[in-house]
């Protein structure tokens, strides 16, 4: 998986999708990114941030269609420990419905010492820690930046902090009774001579196993490396396996042609929520911040099944207090999604609790609505009188 994602907020798919292993449902409920790899694009394609209730709904929908679910991975668009409230809420909601489902988080490890006990008590069973080196000097060759908190540090300071935080985190995860899987990427000529040292350090700290992924060049990256040969991968994995149980993973970046897979992750209409709310200044593009919307355009199926603009509804305005977003949810109880150019964290969370997915897009309304209804070709239509 690419590790350069910037936080998105319920964005519509962009025809590029990274996916976990079959049977593992990836839930992108972590809002804040805390690092970037040098060998990834500066402006990488965004994953979509989803809210906890929408994440649980995604699991339910997969179950309804008979999909295999072996576990859940919480990771993306940022790091679950960088801003832990949404990931923890998601874990608690999953545990209410699935007491025995394995739940993993994938993290750089920053903040692990502070949050390990919270993860265990909430119901996390495994932690995947992203460790590509143990020496700060090597880390500086891998990371473009690392942000341990909200303050940007010099890279030398940040990598030294990262090395220290990862050591503390792995020990804390072990103390909390969590299974620890080290996930590493082999970057040729950068860290390929580091893995025996890395494996020994991880074993001493209490890691249970290790997965080594081969580096794969990313399109539009400023810096590219040669891909490691199968022989090099086999040799390094063999050395690691003498220290820790180890396997070779697939390439770190996986791209799927077309939008079908990404579209399958979008919310879907329900019998009691068949419609979509849209905020727009001109009726053509999704171009307004949710908080600035004077009205909501309601799209949905007519009696003949055609998806069209059905009506306009007034939106609650600023000054209506903390209940503003609950009032908004009450005005669109028939909608499963709301499209906006941007939206704050609080309205997204409140609407999520009401079962309404806030999706961020700057596309035209017609195409965005079509996509949410399965991508069928839209015929010209207007509001039915």
Cβ-proximal residues to 6 (8 Å cutoff; 6+ apart), any chain: 33, 43, 44, 46, 77
| Calpha distance 17→180 (Å, rounded) | 26
pLDDT at 219 over 60: yes
Q: How confident is the model at residue 385 (pLDDT cuts 50, 70, 90)?
A: very low
pLDDT at 251 over 70: no
Average pLDDT over residues 308-324: 85
Q: Are 125 and 112 in contact (CB under 8 A)?
A: no
| Calpha distance 72→20 (Å, rounded) | 9
Which tokens in the block code for residue 7? 């936080």
Lowest-pLDDT range, 9-23, 160-174, 180-194?
9-23
| Calpha distance 50→359 (Å, rounded) | 9
Q: Are 272 and 249 in contact (CB under 8 A)?
A: no
């Amino acid at each position: 998986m690419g590790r350069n994602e910037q936080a998105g907020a319920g964005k519509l798919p962009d025809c590029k999708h990274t996916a976990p292993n079959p049977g593992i449902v990836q839930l992108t409920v972590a809002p804040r990114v805390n690092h970037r790899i040098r060998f990834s694009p500066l402006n990488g394609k965004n994953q979509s941030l989803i809210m906890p209730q929408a994440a649980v709904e995604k699991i339910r929908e997969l179950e309804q269609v008979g999909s295999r679910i072996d576990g859940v991975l919480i990771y993306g668009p940022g790091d679950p420990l960088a801003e832990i409230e949404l990931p923890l809420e998601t874990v608690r909601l999953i545990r209410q419905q699935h007491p025995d489902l394995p739940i993993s988080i994938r993290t750089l490890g920053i903040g692990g010492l502070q949050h390990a006990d919270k993860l265990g008590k909430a119901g996390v069973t495994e932690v995947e820690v992203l460790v590509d080196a143990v020496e700060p000097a090597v880390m500086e060759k891998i990371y473009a930046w690392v942000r341990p908190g909200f303050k940007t540090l010099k890279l030398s300071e940040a990598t030294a902090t990262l090395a220290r935080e990862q050591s503390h985190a792995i020990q804390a995860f072990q103390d909390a009774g969590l299974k620890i899987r080290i996930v590493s990427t082999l970057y040729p000529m950068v860290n390929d001579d580091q893995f025996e040292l890395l494996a020994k350090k991880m074993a001493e700290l209490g890691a249970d196993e290790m997965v080594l992924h081969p580096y794969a060049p990313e399109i539009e990256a400023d810096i590219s490396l040669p891909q490691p040969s199968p022989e090099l991968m086999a040799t390094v994995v063999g050395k690691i396996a003498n220290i820790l149980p180890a396997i070779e993973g697939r390439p770190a970046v996986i791209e799927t042609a077309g939008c079908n897979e990404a579209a399958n992750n979008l919310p879907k209409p329900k019998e009691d929520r068949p419609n979509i709310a849209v905020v727009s200044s001109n009726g053509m593009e999704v171009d307004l911040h949710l908080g600035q919307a004077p009205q909501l355009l309601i799209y949905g199926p007519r009696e003949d099944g055609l998806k069209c603009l059905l009506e306009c509804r007034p939106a609650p305005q600023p000054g209506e207090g903390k209940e503003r977003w609950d009032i908004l949810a009450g005005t669109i109880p028939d909608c499963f999604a709301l499209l906006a150019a941007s939206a704050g964290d609080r309205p997204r969370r409140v609407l999520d609790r009401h079962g309404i997915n806030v999706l961020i897009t700057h596309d035209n309304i017609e195409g965005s609505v079509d996509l949410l209804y399965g991508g069928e070709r839209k015929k010209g239509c207007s509001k039915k009188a």
